[in-house]
Amino acid sequence: MGILLKNISTLLTLQEARRKDGRRITEADLGILQKQSVLIEKEKIAWMGPTGKLPKEFARKKIKEHDMKGLTVMPGLIECHTHLIYAGNRAAEFEMRNQGVSYQEIAAKGGGILSTMKHTRESSLKQLVQEGQKRVNHFISQGVTTIEMKSGYALNLKDELKVLQAAQNLEGVRTVSTFLGAHALPPEFKTYESYLEFLADQVLPVVKKKKLAGRVDVFIEKGFFPKEASEKYLRRAKEMGFDVLIHADQMTLSGGSEVAINVEALSGDHLLQITNKEIQALAKSNVTCVMLPSADLYTRTKYPPAKELIEAGARVALATDFNPGTSPTQDLNLVGLLARLEMKMSLPQVISAYTVGAAFALNLQNETGSIEVGKCADILCTPQDWRCMFYSVGEVVEKKVFSRGKLVFDRLK
């Protein structure tokens, strides 16, 4: 049976943003149309056009109608960078950081990622799935229809596989799994180089064989993974058929974005320390620049040069970086608000970054991120005027969310 979203007051297709490769976005690229209808058939968008103009060949079929009068309809939002599966919390470290102890100092004393590692290793698959599903549901309630999630809080073969398995057991929307074994050096290894070799020799082949993730990420940073060994590791991952991406230039300018360009990564994430040289190089490349301003807020640092990147022609995406250490929030509204207030992104640029830009970061730009015939029906329906998005902190907006044509959230009855 088909689904017809009819009488849509305002439709944002984002088609032009997609056609422009997610670059140099202006309001005209949102594809704003009035009085439209969208027909969904078998997970996909089968037809779209003015209300009342449904062609006869479609009208003959059985169709369930949803009246969208007074609503804005747009692509479902895409969370392209999260560390969603973990156990425990790091509230005590938050307090320490707030009293002046640095992230690196905490990490060097076995806190930080290694403290989450301990709790995650001790958790069962069932516990991780239960907690993970609650977090997924919270993203869905905000209009999210695709969620990327990284492993990287287990740091051994058995438990990294458990975390990736948990990701595959989550339901409701599309999930994209990333292997981030190279997140921190686990206590079982003495050097970053030997740990990376272990990951490439013994873990990646299993992840590949079991189809647990199609992407590999590395945290290139002073006090974490060094640039040269990381580049070698990512090249090996690519040879095995993985897409690659990088936590790059977050705390220091440590060469992550340079490596991202060298290895043709899908995305370089964080990027707040980059200079004009990296901005120009990223703009010329096909690497999506993923900005994570809520992590910058929590770590009380500067924000990435989004405006300069956009003006230079780079493609930009936004995400929460949801994790227990540097960004313990799932609030997309806060992320968009910070992008506007602190990074001077325009509202159309924020909307495109959370749809088209994020779809490119996941290499899903031909499946989702814009409303076009043939694409997946990942759709957000909201009574909110698009001009009021990413504006008011703490606001809860009722909505309907369709993920691949299935109604997965409905608070508009």
Which residues here bind Fe ion, judged by CB under 5 A?
Answer: 321
> What is the footprint of ligand NIG within residues 266-305 (CB under 6 A)?
295
DSSP SS3 for 239: helix
CB of 42 closer than 8 Å to CB of 105: no
Asked whether the beta carbons of 320 and 292 are under 8 A apart, the reply is: yes
User: Within 13 Å of residue 55, how many CA atoms lie on the same side as its CB?
Assistant: 7
**CB nearer Fe ion, residue 160 or residue 321:** 321
* Out of 24, 135, 247, 375, the residue judged to bind ligand NIG by CB under 6 A: 247
Give the separation between CA 269 and CA 358, rounded to whole angstroms. Answer: 11
Q: How far is the CB of 93 from ligand NIG (least distance, A)?
A: 9
Nearer to ligand NIG, 25 or 245 (CB): 245
Complex with ligand NIG: residue 192 or 219, whichever CB lies closer? 219
Tokens of 236: 């090996």
70 to 109: interface string for ligand NIG, x by CB under 6 A: ----------------------------------------
Q: How many CA atoms lie within 13 A of 232 on its CB side?
A: 14
Q: Which does 325 bind (CB under 5 to 8 A by kind): ligand NIG, Fe ion, none?
A: ligand NIG
Look at residue 111 and give the partner it binds from ligand NIG, Fe ion, none, a contact being a CB closer than 5 to 8 Å depending on partner kind. Answer: none
Question: Which candidate, 281, 391, 383, 409, places its Cα nearest to that of 9?
Answer: 383
Least gap, CB of 243 to ligand NIG (angstroms):
18
For CA atoms 62, 67, 73, 77, give the dihedral sign: negative
Site membership for ligand NIG, residue 113 (CB under 6 A): yes
* Shortest Å distance, C-beta 269 to ligand NIG: 7
In what side-by-side order are the strands of the sheet with 174-182? 77-79, 144-150, 174-182, 215-219, 243-248, 267-270, 288-291, 316-318
330: which 2 tokens?
């799932």
Residue 248 engages ligand NIG in binding (rule: CB under 6 A): no
Q: Helix, strand, or coil here: 245?
A: strand
Which residue's CB is nearer to ligand NIG, number 293 or number 357?
A: 293
DSSP 28: G
- Spatial separation of the C-alpha atoms in residues 69 and 29, rounded to whole Å: 23
Q: What gap in Å lies between CA 18 and CA 29, rounded to an integer?
A: 8
Work out how close the CB of 325 gets to Fe ion at its nearest, in angstroms, rounded to a whole number: 9
User: According to the binding rule CB under 6 A, does residue 216 interact with ligand NIG?
Assistant: no
219 binds ligand NIG (CB under 6 A): yes
Return the CA Rg of the chain: 21
326 binds ligand NIG (CB under 6 A): yes
Convert residues 171-210 into a mask of x (bound to ligand NIG by CB under 6 A) and - (unbound).
Answer: ----------------------------------------
Is 323 near ligand NIG (CB under 6 A)?
A: yes
The contact set with ligand NIG (CB under 6 A) reads 112-113, 116, 219, 247, 250, 295, 321, 323-326
